[in-house]
Each structure stands twice: as structure tokens, then as C-alpha cells.
Amino acid sequence: MGLLSDIAKKMTSRASTERYPREPSPAPARSRAKLVRDRKICINCGACTLVCPSKACYFVQDREKKKVDFNLAYCTFCAQCVEVCPVKCLKMVNEYEMATSKKEELMI
């Protein structure tokens, strides 16, 4: 009789899982979720490329000069680049939904 009573309780009780896609839960206040860069402030010094453990930031040869690119597909969200940036053009925001089918959207 115990099994049937357990089934009846579960069928009449509220769901214990979160309804994530329809009701997204907020990220914790101190979470390191998504890396954001202000290209206007960035001086392309390359300090971030030296400390990145996953090599998510790297130099790319542009027409006249080298510039720093970031690929969030490789980022481990350790925030070492944010700490070392001399002009503070990098920051971590609480946006954690980054799923995409286009690689270009993960480049910052």
C-alpha cells in the first residue's frame, strides 16, 4: 500500500523541478558568467592574452596592426583577464544564457 500512496502524493503535489525556459532564475550576485568588452576603451595591449589559461583571447593580425579577439566558446570564465586589464575594458556580467548555433555570436 505504500507504493500507491507515494504515487498518489506525487500526482497531486506541485512539481519539484524549476520551469527554466519559461521562468529563468536569476544568477547569483557574484557569479562570473559572461565576459563583455568595451572595444572603444581597449588599447590592444595583450595583457589578457598572457594570463588566459584557455587561450580564449588571442592576437589577430588586422590590416595595419594586431588586435585582441575573444572567443567565448573557449572561455572558462576565470576572470583573470578582467583583473589584469590596465584600462578596465573587460568585465563579467550575470548573463549566463549564451547558447547559440552561430560561432560568430561567441566572438567579442
The vertex-82 CA angle with 91 and 41, nearest 5°, equals: 65
Is there a domain that residue 91 lies in?
yes
Q: What is the CATH number of the domain that holds 43?
A: 3.30.70.3270
Output the CA–CA distances (angstroms, integers) from residue 55 to 12, 31, 45, in the order listed: 51, 21, 15
**pLDDT class of 69 with cuts at 50, 70, 90:** very high
Is there a domain that residue 7 lies in?
no
Is there a domain that residue 80 lies in?
yes
pTM over 0.95: no
Percent of the chain's residues with pLDDT above 70: 99
Distance, in Å, from the CA atom of 9 to the CA atom of 15, rounded to the nearest integer, reads 11
Number of domains in the chain: 1
The vertex-58 CA angle with 71 and 32, nearest 5°, equals: 50
